[in-house]
Every structure is written in C-alpha cells, then in structure tokens.
Amino acid sequence: MLHDGSTAWVVDPGDAAPVLAALQSHGLTLGGILVTHHHADHVGGLTALRAPLKGPVYGPARERIPPPFMPMKDGDVVNVLGLDFQVIDVPGHTAGHIAYAQLGADSQPLLFCGDTLFSAGCGRLFEGTPAQMAHSLGRLAALPADTRVCCTHEYTLSNLKFAAAVEPGNTDTLNHTRHCLTLRQAGRPTLPSSMGLEKRINPFLRCSEPAVVAAARQQGADNDDAVAVLAALREWKNRF
C-alpha cells in the first residue's frame, strides 16, 4: 500500500481483508489498484474492494483480470499519488505479466515486480519460457541500482539458501542471509530489496558469472548461454 495520508493505492491485493483493515485504521480512501498478473493470490481481493474503490484498476492487457480494469502494456505510464510509473512487459512467470517502475524519482525509485523478480530468486515459469524470463529479468536489472524492489512474496530466506548452493563462495549472499535471519527473528520483513543488492546475490541475475555458469552446467545446462543457465537454475530450484 502507498498512501499520502488521505488516499491509498494497493498492489496485487490477493486478499481484501488486510486492505480493508488498513484503510479503516488509517482513515484512508482507496484511490486505485495496480495488478501485475492474473494469479488468484494477486487478484483475489478485487471483487470485495470494488465497493470502497474510488478510482481505477490497472492490469496487464494480455491477461484476464476480473473486470472492469484498464489494460496496460509496455511503455504505458500510470500516475499514482503524483508519482509516474512506467509499465514494463515482463513475461515468464505468466504470459502477460507486467511490472511498474517509477520514473523520474529524486531518490530510491520504486519497482512493483509481482512474481517476476523475488529477492534472491525469480518466479516459476508457469506460462513463459526461459528466454522470456531471462529477457524480463534483464530489463529489470537495467533499472538504477538504488531501485527499491517491491516483490510480492516473503521468499527471501529460502531463496538465499538456494543462492548459497549455487554460489557457496559469494560472501554478499552469506552476509545478507545473516541480516535477513535477524530481521525475520524480529518479526520484520526482508523487503523491499534493492536492484544493486539483487545483482550481487540473486543467481538468476548472475547467469553470466563463471561460478553460476559452472553450477548450472553441473545441473544439466548444455552450454554457457545465459538462457540455458537460467533454465537449468530454475529447474534446479523447482526441486531444491
């Protein structure tokens, strides 16, 4: 949720109840909703939020989102509480997945990336291909290093365990694992991350690194191409 003290927007409301509770406790009006993809844990709360909603629902043009909604495609711009966000097509997890990247931020721009990019991981390839996911992750990785990565699941510790198996010598991964363990033990989230950090710890953004390539080859990658490496890593993570 983003709010300015009076109006709130929410991203991927899989459940309406916590949204309604937050609106009530903070005295906020629901001004709009951003949706990244069609899975139920991202749109399940839409129907119940229609009544209090005072603005639009934006969602991916190439996916079936509960109507009515405004279909968004690559390059479109959405204004949220005075902040401009550009829509980026990021297929892979689903066929029409989109992300919202803040434009023209003075510092620490926001990225709402749904299930495409997680901290130290990426989404499963339910509908897309390894090539699509590699391209999508590459587009996100090109965003400024201080971009705040607001993904939609607290998978960080399990992803870091996998990242350490891929790159056991990566001290950034080991240090961040200790940091995240401390956060979770205190009941705090590990998110948002940052793009700069993800490029140091996330094996799916490091598919050209020699250690990651070597690990992927041991898991069945038939060449050193980044797409083949990502495909092998994703299959490995599926059974990890």
Please say if 115 is a catalytic residue.
Answer: yes
Please say if 37 is a catalytic residue.
Answer: yes
Q: With bands split at pLDDT 50, 70 and 90, how would you rate the model's confidence at 145?
A: very high
60: Cα separation from own chain's centroid? 15
Residue 93: half-sphere exposure toward Cβ, Cα within 13 Å: 23
Catalytic member of 3, 12, 37, 97:
37
Please say if 146 is a catalytic residue.
Answer: no
Please say if 38 is a catalytic residue.
Answer: no
Q: With bands split at pLDDT 50, 70 and 90, how would you rate the model's confidence at 107?
A: confident
Q: Where are the beta strands (DSSP E) in 69-228?
A: 70-72, 77-80, 83-89, 98-102, 110-114, 117-118, 121-122, 148-151, 193-194
Catalytic member of 12, 97, 115, 176:
115
pLDDT of residue 104: 84
Q: With bands split at pLDDT 50, 70 and 90, how would you rate the model's confidence at 105?
A: confident
Residue 106 has pLDDT above 90, yes or no: no
Catalytic member of 3, 42, 97, 176:
42
Please say if 41 is a catalytic residue.
Answer: yes
Catalytic member of 76, 135, 153, 224:
153
pLDDT of residue 98: 98
pLDDT tens for each residue of 75-96: 999 999 999 999 999 999 999 9
Catalytic member of 39, 89, 97, 176:
39
pLDDT of residue 232: 98
Least confident of 13-17, 102-106, 149-153: 102-106
